[in-house]
Amino acid sequence: MVYVSEVAGVDGDLAYCFGGGFYARSRAARALLATPAGDRLMAEFLPLPPDAIDYYASLHLQAGVRAHVGDSVLFAFRSQVFVSRSRVVAVGGIARDNAAVLGVCDAMGNVLDKDGYPLGAREARVFVDRIWDRYIAGWRRSQDKRQQEENQYPSGGEALA
């Protein structure tokens, strides 16, 4: 899971980003800061005390690293989304370098429409089925085709002319 936030404030070698869903057992250790200039910088995640409310996360910046309000922050850890007001965005096509948003849900897993309102149960089912057919089933078909080709040419090579 990728958790995306942004820098909300900076104080010396500390950057603070918006939080929600961080918790002690998540094992978050580092974050990737992405600047508008295209820089990618690593920062150390400073764990919260177990009784803390996690509206913000604290990041320790390495010497010479400068963060600015609005810089993107990416974490990779298991979040407790249900305790936040976060949106969950399903993204497909990453492995093919063709990332696309598949859908957006609220923290309770309700599929949202383009205006951010929950779809009804029937509409949500149709939406999820369409995404499944387009991405997951298509991926499986491509995997089946690849397997057939590997079985046809076990050495991994192409047919000889």
Q: Is the per-residue pLDDT at 31 higher than 80?
A: yes
pLDDT higher for 34 or 133? 34
Claim to verify: residue 115 and residue 141 sit in the same structural domain: yes
* Total number of domains constituting the chain: 2
Q: β-pairing, 56-61 with 14-18?
A: antiparallel
Decide: 19 and 54 in contact? Cβ < 8 Å: yes
The reply to whether 99 and 42 lie within a common domain is no
> Is 34 inside any structural domain?
yes
The alpha carbon of 137 is separated from its chain's Cα centroid by a whole number of angstroms, namely 22
Shared domain check, 76 and 6:
yes
Parent domain of 137 = 88-152
Give the pLDDT score at 151: 74
* Structural domain contains residue 161: no
Domain boundary among the residues 28, 48, 80 is at: 80
Q: In the listed set 80, 96, 114, which residue is the last one of a domain according to the structure?
A: 80
Q: Judge whether residue 156 has pLDDT over 60.
A: no
The verdict on residue 60 lying in a domain is yes
Do 40 and 65 lie in one domain? The reply is yes
* pTM for the structure as a whole: 0.64
| Structural domain includes residue 158 | no
